[in-house]
Amino acid sequence: MNKYDTLNEKQREACFCTEGPLLLLAGAGSGKTRVLTHRIAYILENNLAKPWEIMAITFTNKASKEMAERVESLLGECSQVFVSTFHSACMRFLRRDIDKLGFSKSFTIYDTTDSKKVIKDIVKNNNLDKQAYKEAAVLSEISKAKNLLMSPDDYYNAYASEHRKRKIAEIYEQYQKELKKNNALDFGDLLYYMVKLFESEPDVLAHYQNKFKYILVDEYQDTNMIQFKIVNMLAKKHKNLCVVGDDDQSIYKFRGADITNILSFEKYYPSARVIKLEQNYRSTKNILDAANAVIKGNTYRKAKRLWTENPVGEKISFYNLPDEKQEARVIVELVGANLQAGYKYKDQSVLYRTNAQSRVIEERLFNQGIPYKILGGTNFYQRKEIKDFIAYLRLINEPKDDVAFDRIINYPKRGIGASTVNQVKDYAIKHEMSLFEVLEMIDEIDEFTDRNKKKLGEFAELIRTFAEEAKGMDSLEDFAADIVDRVGFYDELHKEKDKAEEKIANVRELIGKFKEYDDTAEEISLTGFLEDIALISDVDGYDEDADYVTLMTLHSAKGLEFPLVYMPGMEDGLFPSYMSINEGDEQVEEERRLCYVGITRAQEKLVMLSVKNRFLNGNTSYNPVSRFIEEIPDELLDVKSAKRSAQSYSARQKVKERKPTPYKSYYKAAKKDVKPAKEIDLKVGDFVMHKKYEVGEILEIRPAGADYELSVNFTSVGLKKIMANLSGVKKIDF
DNA sequence: GACATATCTAAAGCC
DNA sequence: TAGATATGTC
């Protein structure tokens, strides 16, 4: 028996069909990763290609790593297959040849925050209305354009009749100029310039075309036009292109994913073979039936029906609860119950539509002392203190990086205020220089006061010294620790009242990552490290061995599986979201696919929850149960009543049951209607809530000048006075 | 002009 | 809730 005997017939067919274009339609849980890895092994074992002549594109770095490992374990040896994401592959190719496009090879990669900053400055400098040209919206237009391979000119011409789009085209143009000046690329540029480079340098393209004899693309349903183009360019010579995907799992339209890439693969490659993998090995029958029932609601899809030989399993539990706190409570109770039943924490995962939903659940898990990990949200590398520190490394690595410069020129505070910085910026714009270049010659510029010259000169000197040291560096950890010391990073964080300890701990953790890098990297370089972290995705932080409950968005969960899945927030308006409902059927279909992805993550048990009143993002919404729940046949659902689950109340929770009015609502209500405070429904005897845990009873309300003074007896801290007026709560003495 | 504090505003999904 | 902006103080 050889390794291929463990595959089913269809899987084997896909595995051995190595020559020519192949479309592999692989339903959820149908073992496509197994097929891909076996296919690579087969190609290698039969000497059809050398390892480095195979390119496999995955969706996340984590998936790349896994695939490489699995190929290695199949072959029992270290292989050098080129497994990478689109973005990392392009980054690596561009590192080699980007000088041909006028960038230098030490280019920086800007993340969304950096990009927004650049756009914001452009909008400001052009005296445009910042409300009409919000950074996020403009950036999304720009990246859409890039994903369609449209230059600023193309974009301008395509939308010449629309005023707003003409303006955006202008911003786009300046944005590209600014990035080039900073020697920086954003995420979209990695792909965009890749195509540009291939187009303008046929030799470079030919090199890769010759090199990669076999190309595999995973999660093909989520590729966009430009990625399709890159794949086509690379596969043009050998045409051994195998794409794997499931149109029902296409969930990234918002970032340009083009579902037609998969739906019309056969049109582009008329000779393409199509193989469908429809047997699911992951989920129980009930779970799969529910998934099939939901996805049936979509019209634009390839006909297929997943089936399984797995047991029927339990019905899908559905809870409709009063509010998000109850929802969190039920989830956490079930986590505990399932732990008793023999499941581990790591077998259980909470998947939600929006990151904001994680907070309540996190609080509850935290309260109950259950180990958990939240993926995404504020990514570790997005935290302010981390970004600030990384900005030092970025500026040291590439002094032209104006965004990094701007972050740290006065952080930690060194007496260089906003107006001085603006002066530097004005000078830089006038003379077309980078900010750091201005500093390099600050002594010769008369406009600056002696004091500022000194301060700015000192900063420039500091960065120069570090850059000098970076050259001969053999430990990034030591280097970073040195920067922290000399810059006084911890001292600065100590001064910040809010979560100073946590921030310092984060920076220490970062230093720990430098150590890790020192230990694992083949060659230690600043560029190398910055490269590694620039393209990290949320799921890259997921560790399936560690025993904790995992919380993440449905988007992040793609490609993962868990014995137990909880899906909170099954409400129309949240999932599917208002936006998608307003935008029409096509958007709702995308949400439906997202729901399908969620359901099919579950192997054994699936719990779905919705609530009647949800307090989210500062206001309460009353949403009906999600249409996706309605689409699941009754016989598959086990509708649980809220009361039954609410057995184990502690005394403290009973207090909470009396529905304390959050201050926030009070504030809102008072402000919206501008009613006299008396008419606001806060009265003596009501319970109010402060922040997360403090619940208290109002003992007295009395006028105090224009304001009101409330005496509140808090359960934990006792009697406190709270000042309130028409515009809300003024002061809380804790 | 730098820094501290008060006030306002807006909120999806991701490499 | 946080981040940006407006206002106040030295």
pLDDT at A665: 33
CA of A89 to C1' of B4 (A): 47
Residues with Cβ within 8 Å of residue A243, at least 6 apart in sequence: A21, A22, A23, A24, A216, A217, A220, A231, A262, A265
Q: pLDDT digits over A470-479, tens only?
A: 988 889 999 9
The b/e string for A615-632 (b: 16+ C-beta within 10 A; e otherwise) is bbeeeeeebebbbbbeeb
Q: Which residues pair with A609 in a beta bridge?
A: A319
A698: enclosing H helix or E strand: strand A694-704
Compute the distance between CA of residue A500 and CA of residue A572 in angstroms, rounded to an integer: 40
Check if A69 is active-site.
no
DSSP structure class, residue A383: S
Count of Cβ atoms closer than 10 Å to residue A604 Cβ: 20
Range A52-81 average pLDDT: 90
CA of A358 to C1' of B11 (A): 14
pLDDT at A687 over 80: no
Q: Which residues pair with A317 in a beta bridge?
A: A607, A638
Check if A450 is active-site.
no
Note the maximum CA span of chain A: 88
Residue A659: band (very low, low, confident or very high) from pLDDT cuts 50, 70, 90? very low
- List the single range of A13-17, A329-333, A430-434, A538-542 with lowest mean pLDDT: A538-542
Check if A218 is active-site.
yes
Task: From residues 654-713 of A, list those within 7 angstroms of strand C by Cβ.
Answer: 664, 691
CA distances from A14 to A73, A219, A260 (A): 20, 16, 22
pLDDT at A174: 93
Compute the distance between CA of residue A13 and CA of residue A468 in angstroms, rounded to an integer: 57
pLDDT at A98 over 90: yes
Compute the distance between CA of residue A357 and CA of residue A349 in angstroms, rounded to an integer: 14
A187 Cβ contacts chain B strand, under 7 Å: yes
Range A353-363 average pLDDT: 90
pLDDT at A295 over 70: yes
Closest C1' nucleotide to A616's CA: B11
pLDDT at A260 over 90: no
CA of A679 to C1' of B15 (A): 51
Q: What string of DSSP letters covers A616-658?
A: ETTEEEE-PBPHHHHTS-GGGEEEE-HHHH-----HHHHHHHT
pLDDT at A275 over 70: yes
The values of phi and psi at residue A25, to 5°, are -90, 105
Check if A32 is active-site.
yes
Q: pLDDT digits over A303-341, tens only?
A: 788 999 999 999 999 999 988 889 999 999 999 999 999
A448 Cβ contacts chain B strand, under 7 Å: no
Task: From residues 403-422 of A, list those within 7 angstroms of strand B by Cβ.
Answer: 410, 413-420
Closest residue to B11 measured CA to C1′: A617
pLDDT at A732: 41
Range A728-734 average pLDDT: 38
In the set A10, A276, A400, A601, the catalytic residue is A601
pLDDT at A51 over 70: yes
Task: From residues 601-630 of A, list those within 7 angstroms of strand B by Cβ.
Answer: 617-619
pLDDT at A460: 94
Check if A589 is active-site.
no
Q: pLDDT digits over A220-238, tens only?
A: 999 999 999 999 999 999 9
CA of A631 to C1' of C7 (A): 54
pLDDT at A674 over 70: no
Check if A601 is active-site.
yes
Q: Which residue has the higher pLDDT, A478 or A657?
A: A478
pLDDT at A721: 62
CA of A611 to C1' of B6 (A): 36
CA of A574 to C1' of C10 (A): 49
pLDDT at A144 over 60: yes
A706 Cβ contacts chain B strand, under 7 Å: no
Closest C1' nucleotide to A352's CA: B13
CA of A128 to C1' of C2 (A): 25
Sheet holding A22-26, edge to edge: A82-85, A54-58, A214-217, A241-245, A22-26, A273-277
CA of A125 to C1' of B3 (A): 25
pLDDT at A731: 37
In the set A121, A186, A218, A540, the catalytic residue is A218
Range A113-125 average pLDDT: 90
Range A129-156 average pLDDT: 92
Q: pLDDT digits over A480-506, tens only?
A: 999 999 998 888 888 776 677 888 888
Residue A149: band (very low, low, confident or very high) from pLDDT cuts 50, 70, 90? very high
Task: From residues 549-588 of A, list those within 7 angstroms of strand B by Cβ.
Answer: 553, 555-556, 577, 579-580, 583, 587
A116 Cβ contacts chain C strand, under 7 Å: no
A384 Cβ contacts chain C strand, under 7 Å: yes
In the set A3, A12, A13, A33, the catalytic residue is A33
pLDDT at A498: 67
Closest residue to C1 measured CA to C1′: A617
pLDDT at A704: 62
CA of A419 to C1' of C9 (A): 18
| Strand B nucleotides in reach of protein CB atoms, 7 A cut-off | 1-4, 8, 10-15
pLDDT at A648: 35
pLDDT at A20 over 50: yes
Q: pLDDT digits over A688-716, tens only?
A: 544 333 455 677 777 665 556 667 665 54
pTM above 0.75, yes or no: yes
| Strand C nucleotides in reach of protein CB atoms, 7 A cut-off | 1-3, 5
Closest C1' nucleotide to A61's CA: B15
